[in-house]
Amino acid sequence: MSKGDQTRTAILERAVDLASQLGLTGLTIGALADAMHLSKSGLFAHFRSKETLQIQVLEHAAARFTAMVVQPALRQPRGEPRMQALLDGWLAWDTSEALSGGCLFAQAAGELDDRPGPVRERLVALQRAWVDVIAESVRKGIAAGAFRADADPEQFAQDMYGVMLAFHHASRLLGDIQAEPRARRSFGALLAASQSR
């Protein structure tokens, strides 16, 4: 990486963390400059607008999510081991210390669901891509004979999303220490219902 790229990556790392605390819509060039003790004009030269900064933060977080959650899972065998790896990685992501405010996407989803514009469009595209990774992994499991032929990949993806969102809600908002064991049990039941034997 060139020096410029390194600087940019360092700024985006910090911006992802800050967005997880402030909310994505609260992440402005000014707020980031304050948090990093940098000049607002210097940051403005990198990002040009709040929307560009927010979109690049989403893309940077998505690349990290892919490296941390998706890629390791795709190295697992199709069927249950791969789905379990997706869940384990997702849980690790949601409780990762690099995101002190919790999953940026879960938070941005609530903030942006009623705010049309380029930031929301990018978030939707990234979230659809992630739902597709889950559904496609179920499809691969069906093709490999690990899951029932009549398992519904899109239903599984929505249900798995529900397991994670409920975990996030119970653990982060309600502070319920049983949230994770319950999420793992729910996911186990989902997997069991999809298995071919």
CA distance 119 to 140: 32
**Of 80 and 159, which CB lies nearer to a copy of itself in the complex structure?**
159
- Residue 98 is given by DSSP the state T
State the nearest-atom distance from the C-beta of 13 to a copy of itself, in Å: 18
Cβ of 8: how many Cβ atoms within 10 Å? 16
User: Which are the contacts of 171, defined by CB distance < 8 A and separation ≥ 6?
Assistant: 95, 177, 179, 180
**Of 10 and 124, which CB lies nearer to a copy of itself in the complex structure?**
124
Check: CB of residue 189 under 8 Å from CB of residue 159: no
List own/partner pairs for 111-118 with CB under 8 A and 24 or more apart. 111/23, 111/24, 111/25, 112/24, 112/25, 115/25, 117/51, 118/51, 118/55
What would the two tokens of residue 22 be? 């402030």
State the nearest-atom distance from the C-beta of 137 to a copy of itself, in Å: 17
CA distance 32 to 52: 13
Residues that bind a copy of itself (CB under 8 A): 20-21, 23, 25, 100-102, 106-107, 109-114, 123-124, 127-128, 131, 154-155, 158-159, 161-167, 169-170, 172-176, 178-179, 182-183, 185-186, 189, 193
**Of 110 and 145, which CB lies nearer to a copy of itself in the complex structure?**
110
State the nearest-atom distance from the C-beta of 186 to a copy of itself, in Å: 5
State the nearest-atom distance from the C-beta of 156 to a copy of itself, in Å: 10
**Of 45 and 174, which CB lies nearer to a copy of itself in the complex structure?**
174
State the nearest-atom distance from the C-beta of 7 to a copy of itself, in Å: 27
Check: CB of residue 57 under 8 Å from CB of residue 15: yes
State the nearest-atom distance from the C-beta of 93 to a copy of itself, in Å: 16
**Of 38 and 190, which CB lies nearer to a copy of itself in the complex structure?**
190
**Of 67 and 173, which CB lies nearer to a copy of itself in the complex structure?**
173
